[in-house]
Amino acid sequence: MKPRITVITIGVDDLEASLRFYRDGLGFQTEGIVGKEFEYGAVVFFQLQPGLRLALWPRASIAHDTGLSAGRASPTEMTLGHNVTSKAEVDSVMAKARAAGAAIIKAAHDTFWGGYSGYFQDPDGHLWEVVWNPQWSE
């Protein structure tokens, strides 16, 4: 299998609230909720970078589509990494996330590996790491 991820879908409990957090709070661009005309079809897409989208889809819709029972969400199952170009940008993104209503889980700090990062959770508990890695260039 050739690795080719084009959509990262995260389950949400309140699609409207999650849309407001990402669009209005963090400034992500979107057409808004699409697919309302289909039962279990309402979804929000954000273009993150060429070839990669973030989708918000209700957990109930994911459970229905897959046939799996909706279980308890766990924020430690995965993180979404947002890499930036400086420590100051980490601080700026963390402040924007806080203002949008994110829970700051771990304030931005110098890391043991030489970078700088912090963690926040969106309204559904999804964990984001905002990180500057001096070994990576944009």
Kindly state the helix (H) or strand (E) to which residue 128 belongs, with its residue range: strand 127-132
Q: 41-52: buried (b, 16+ CB within 10 Å) or exposed (e) per residue?
A: ebbbbbeeeeee
The pLDDT tens digits for 79-104 are 999 999 999 999 999 999 999 999 99
Give this prediction's pTM: 0.91
The pLDDT tens digits for 42-57 are 999 999 999 999 999 9
- Does residue 72 have a pLDDT over 90? no
The pLDDT tens digits for 101-113 are 999 999 999 999 9
Mean pLDDT of all residues in 3-16: 95
Listed residue (20, 80, 77, 26) closest to 44, CA to CA: 20
pLDDT-derived band at 59 (thresholds 50, 70, 90) equals very high
Cα 59-64-67 angle, rounded to 5 deg: 115
